[in-house]
Amino acid sequence: MPKLREPQVERNQEKIEAAALRLFIQRGFYGTSVRDIAKGAGVSLGNLYNYYRTKEQLFASLIRRYEAKMAGLMRVELAGLTGTIDDPDNLRKLAAGVRRIVYKEPDYWRLMYMDITEFGNRHFAFVFRDLSRRLQHLLDQPIRVQSGSGSRVKPKVAFTAIYLQFFTYFLVEKLFGGKNHLGVPEEEAIEQLIEIFTNGVHSGSPHKGSRKNSNGDGTAVRQRAKSARAKG
């Protein structure tokens, strides 16, 4: 068999992995056979084994391909964040970036959940291991807390926790069909979360230590959501 040029090898692997992705998502890893993948890719079984010794090796290669795409996407979405983590405008930018991270490559997250259920998170453990350090590495500048705020929270802890909250919100909305799962439309939900992050649950109290009763109708937050939407 003549040796294939590198671009041809890459195209063949992309074709095989695209077929594998479709079938894994439809049937699960263990519900998909190597023969199914070869048929879906339009290649012979022997040709597929020229590239992957086992089905799990194919699965791992597919994850590495997606991880490279996700690393670039996360870099683009997070690198431009600067300033303070308790600035509502910065949090809106972060929310928008996390939304694109989840929505642009939903199959990556589907593969992650497949790995958890079928492999015990053998291939995706690195995604959340030392996440705070990885997120900080993606930023052009370290995120700070506003000077004079008196906060004892470490900025990197706050940033990671807020990132994960936005990530979870959008993951539930996109992958689990949780349409408006916080009980309000998306824009208002994000503004409510930002309100909690910046001012706490009892925001709007007349002074520290005093709790003003609220009917919880979210009028002020809806007005801020409308204002943020108007600004861009």
Whether 59 is in a domain gets the answer no
Q: Which domain holds residue 203?
A: 64-231
What does the pLDDT look like over 66-125, one tens digit per residue? 999 999 999 999 988 887 888 899 999 999 999 999 999 999 999 999 999 999 999 998
Range name among 23-32, 185-194, 219-228 with the lowest pLDDT average: 219-228
Whether 20 is in a domain gets the answer yes
How would residue 230 be classed by pLDDT, with cut points 50, 70 and 90? low
The CATH number that applies at residue 8 is 1.10.10.60
The pTM of the full predicted model, rounded to 2 decimals, is 0.80
Distance CA 67, CA 74 (A): 10
* CA-to-CA separations, 178 to 13, 22, 88, 172, 184, in angstroms, rounded: 35, 23, 25, 5, 11
Which two structure tokens, joined as six digits, stand for 80? 């431009």
What does the pLDDT look like over 56-70, one tens digit per residue? 999 999 999 999 999
* Contact (CB, 8 A) for 227 and 218: no
Distance CA 29, CA 107 (A): 14
Whether 58 is in a domain gets the answer no
Q: Assess whether 26 and 72 both reside in one domain.
A: no
Q: Assess whether 88 and 49 both reside in one domain.
A: no
Total domains, the chain: 2
The C-alpha angle 36, 37, 41, rounded to 5 degrees, equals 120
Residue whose C-alpha is closest to residue 17's, from 54, 61, 67: 61
Q: Assess whether 121 and 206 both reside in one domain.
A: yes
Last residue of a domain, one of 53, 77, 93: 53
* Contact (CB, 8 A) for 127 and 107: no
Beta bridge pairs of residue 144? 84
Question: What are the phi and psi torsion angles at 144 (to 5°)?
Answer: -120, 170
